[in-house]
Amino acid sequence: MLSFHKEGYKIIVYTFLLILSGILLSEKFVEVYWLQKGIQIFLVLFLIIVLQFFRNPKRITNINDNQIIAPVDGKVVVIEEVDEPEYFKGKKLQVSIFMSPINVHVTRYALSGLIKYSKYHPGKYLVAWHPKASTENERTTIVIKNNTFGEVLYRQIAGALAKRIVNYAEEGEKVVQGTDAGFIKFGSRVDLYLPLNTKLAVKIGDKVKGGEQVIAEK
């Protein structure tokens, strides 16, 4: 059964009412048959796009402290050693996953552990794959302390279309791998910052499935 994320309930209701109003108004005021039907088809297609964007498919996570799973659906676009300036202030292995508007946009915890840090940063709306997006765009930074990997940072980054990031992580909270960590609305990216000796199970260009696919392991 198709289910939707709670962050989309209000938008789905408003969109449905808007589409219904548009269809009824076109029936009443648009006399040209082909134009009337064209408008109605467009409106229905728009509703379908909104529904698919907020879909929240059930994912089965095999909880394992020796593995890091993909936090989101999308495409691996960056794998490189970088300086992480906000929290670690040192070298880390960055893995970035880009989400297009057609991907599921639920963010799931990549590993279990204790939330050590959770901070929201307002910012720009550069395209999500822009090199400066991780430091200049609207974003949230979350650090989880895990028994196996130690401290792992992930960052939700808004893109050119994303206008709101939802983050459920609260400092001091214990979280479980694969459970709901938040949502990013309309196109975005998630960066993971891992220990340098982490063994990756993905490469650039791979498409990953959030909540299930292993992307790194000890």
Q: Tell me which residues are annotated as active site.
A: 188
Residue with the two structure tokens 């498919």: 57
Q: What are phi and psi of 76, to 5 degrees?
A: -70, 120
Residue 143 burial (10 A CB sphere; 0-12, 13-18, 19+): buried
Q: Helix 33-53 and helix 9-29: axis angle, to 10°?
A: 180
As a whole number of angstroms, the distance between CA 72 and CA 108 comes to 6
Q: How many CB atoms lie within 10 A of CB 48?
A: 11
Strands 188-194 and 150-158: antiparallel
Q: How many CB atoms lie within 10 A of CB 41?
A: 11
Q: Which amino acid is at 182?
A: G
What is the SS3 assignment for 188? Answer: strand
